[in-house]
């Protein structure tokens, strides 16, 4: 890609972030993931966005994280949506969740949802610190401001969601995974008996073509499960026993492990005691290989059945993101993917990863998390490959990501068949991560 192409991509990506920024009356602000379809602040979106902003507007990067953590619960949970504003464009909104009426941990204001998402904020906090003058008082003050919030966020996962103390975190809803309608959840969802019918009106399909969004049947399942969580007042102890959807999620756990490494770095700069963090960091590497299938890929576990969920999705590579695979284990994973035609006609050594293997029965190139290429997943794998020194492979991925973004625009997701952009146009995390990839060598 020429220098000019890179400059133009950077300018477009920055303008997407500027356009999706929402200024709040209290002087802070946040980024919506996209105009209309996602009018609030989302958890992992906001971490990716702060990383993008760290390259050209440190204040915005900080505000993005500050506004997210203004919705943190007293028990440490950072909710998956923070409702700083009101909007008629999204369901379910704050009136559905009623989090502050149901759980005394939830803040009065801003209102929030009652579940969480993969925690990328410790990574973002560290990136912001690196961009400030490292070692300066101001930079350390930033870490000091964030540390106890991040610590509580991680402590929540390791104490409330790590049921078996194995570093593999339990999620109670597909939305917590971030990969909403992934076929990873199909079997469980198919078997859940929806015995109450909620009356509700979807809003998403007003802004994005229905065929690119989860089906109505999936929405019924999401709302049914969210309603059940609400009935349990979002209490982890109750959900642990009774909730019909309980899955050990390898992707979220790997992201948590990666982010906990950054939490440790932050603690060390601040001279904080790292004993507990080190113990958390021991859990996943010691146990994740139990989630490995005979084909060398990694699978989630359905805790209600005590069985691995054998569907080939991008989550099967998660331990590469966590940085816990050796060079030969990483090679084995890519060889398996290539043999199974995961990336379609090209090999995964040379191509972008689709969200679901191209030869899987469930693969559908335009259906949300059931096939399309997502920038954040490929970015995470790129980071993992880069950190482990797989330079050749990482460089190919970087090149492919930038070419896709330059030639096809900054979309929410892309068809692996013709690389056309789908979903929301001018999508925030795709723009933010484009900026980060451009800034790397
Ligand atoms: C999607 O999820 C929300 C529900 O949380 C939705 O479909 O309405 C997912 O892609 C999720 O990963 C993302 O954080 C969110 C906002 O971009 O949209």
pLDDT at 194: 87
Ligand 1 atom showing the smallest separation from residue 80 Cα: 5
pLDDT at 77: 98
Task: Report pLDDT digits (tens) over 238-249.
Answer: 999 999 999 999
- Residues in the chain, overall count: 441
The strand order across the sheet containing 170-171 reads 170-171, 247-248, 301-302, 307-308
Quick one: average pLDDT of 66-81?
98
- CA 322 to ligand 1 center in whole angstroms: 22
pLDDT at 301: 98
pLDDT at 159: 98
Is 44 close to ligand 1, i.e. is its CB under 6 Å away? yes
Contact 395, 327 (CB under 8 A): no
pLDDT higher than 90, residue 230: yes
Which residues in 318-337 are b (16+ Cβ under 10 Å) and which e? bbbbbbbbeeeebebbbebb
Beta strands in 321-363 (DSSP E): none
Is 180 close to ligand 1, i.e. is its CB under 6 Å away? yes
Contact 84, 22 (CB under 8 A): yes
pLDDT at 199: 84
Atom 7 in ligand 1: residue holding the nearest Cα? 180
Question: Among the listed ranges 63-67, 92-96, 204-208, which one has the minimum average pLDDT value?
Answer: 204-208
- Ligand 1 mutation pick, 119, 174, 178, max ligand atoms within 8 A of CB: 178
Catalytically active residues are 180, 412
Quick one: average pLDDT of 413-441?
97
Is 175 close to ligand 1, i.e. is its CB under 6 Å away? yes
In three state form, how does the secondary structure of 15-46 look? HHHHHHEEECCCCCEEECCECCCECCEEHHHH
pLDDT at 144: 98
pLDDT-based confidence at residue 25 (cuts at 50, 70, 90): confident
- CA 181 to ligand 1 center in whole angstroms: 10
pLDDT at 197: 73
pLDDT at 26: 84
- CA 270 to ligand 1 center in whole angstroms: 34
- CA 422 to ligand 1 center in whole angstroms: 14
Average pLDDT of the chain is: 96
Quick one: average pLDDT of 91-112?
97
Atom 13 in ligand 1: residue holding the nearest Cα? 178
Q: For tokens 């996602």, what's the residue?
A: 38
Alpha-carbon gap, residue 35 to 23, rounded angstroms? 14
pLDDT at 131: 96
Task: Report pLDDT digits (tens) over 187-215.
Answer: 999 999 887 677 899 999 999 899 999 99
DSSP code at position 317: G
Peptide bond into 110 cis (omega under 30): yes
Ligand 1 atom showing the smallest separation from residue 428 Cα: 17
pLDDT at 12: 98
Task: Report pLDDT digits (tens) over 390-404.
Answer: 999 999 999 999 999
pLDDT at 293: 96
pLDDT at 198: 74
Percent of the chain with pLDDT over 90: 94
Is 38 close to ligand 1, i.e. is its CB under 6 Å away? yes
Is 413 close to ligand 1, i.e. is its CB under 6 Å away? no
Quick one: average pLDDT of 8-34?
96
Structure tokens at 409: 């625009």
Orientation of helix 43-53 relative to helix 58-69, angle to 10°: 160
Contact 372, 415 (CB under 8 A): yes
């Amino acid at each position: 890609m020429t220098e000019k192409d890179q400059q133009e991509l950077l300018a477009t990506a920055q303008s997407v972030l500027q356009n999706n920024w929402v200024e709040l009356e209290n002087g802070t602000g946040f980024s919506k993931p996209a105009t209309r379809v996602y009018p609030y602040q989302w958890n992992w979106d906001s971490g990716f966005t702060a990383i993008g902003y760290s390259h050209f507007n440190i204040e915005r990067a900080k505000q993005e994280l500050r506004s997210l953590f203004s919705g943190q619960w007293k028990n440490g949970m950072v909710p998956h949506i923070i409702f700083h504003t009101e909007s008629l464009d999204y369901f379910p909104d704050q009136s559905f969740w009623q989090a502050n009426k149901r759980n005394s941990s939830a803040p009065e204001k801003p209102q929030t949802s009652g579940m969480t998402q993969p925690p990328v904020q410790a990574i973002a906090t560290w990136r912001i610190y690196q961009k400030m003058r490292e070692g300066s008082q101001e930079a350390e003050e930033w870490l000091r401001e964030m540390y106890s919030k991040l610590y509580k966020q991680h402590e929540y996962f390791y104490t409330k969601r790590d049921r078996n103390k194995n570093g593999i975190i339990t999620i109670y809803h597909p939305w917590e995974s971030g990969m909403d309608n992934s076929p990873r959840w199909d079997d469980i969802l198919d078997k859940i008996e929806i015995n109450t019918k909620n009356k509700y009106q979807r809003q998403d399909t007003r802004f994005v073509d229905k065929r690119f969004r989860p089906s109505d049947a999936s929405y019924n399942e999401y709302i049914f499960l969210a309603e059940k969580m609400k009935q349990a007042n979002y209490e982890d102890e109750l959900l642990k026993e009774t909730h019909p959807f309980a899955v050990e999620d390898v992707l979220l756990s790997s992201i948590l492990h990666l982010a906990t490494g950054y939490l440790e770095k932050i603690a060390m700069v601040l001279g904080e005691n790292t004993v507990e963090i080190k113990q958390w960091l021991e859990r996943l590497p010691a146990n994740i290989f139990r989630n490995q299938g005979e084909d060398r890929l990694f699978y989630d576990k359905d805790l209600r059945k005590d069985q691995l969920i054998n569907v080939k999705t991008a989550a099967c590579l998660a331990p590469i993101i966590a940085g816990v695979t050796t060079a030969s284990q990483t090679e084995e994973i890519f060889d398996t993917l290539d043999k199974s035609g995961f990336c379609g006609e090209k090999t995964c050594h040379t191509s972008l990863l689709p969200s679901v293997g191209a030869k899987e029965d469930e693969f559908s190139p335009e259906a949300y998390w059931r096939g399309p290429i997502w920038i954040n997943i490929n970015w995470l794998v790129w980071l993992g490959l880069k950190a482990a020194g797989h330079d050749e492979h990482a460089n190919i991925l970087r090149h492919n990501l930038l070419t896709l973004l330059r030639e096809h625009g900054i979309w929410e997701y892309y068809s692996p068949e013709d690389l056309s952009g789908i979903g929301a146009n001018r999508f925030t995390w795709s723009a933010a991560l484009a900026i980060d990839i451009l800034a790397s060598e």
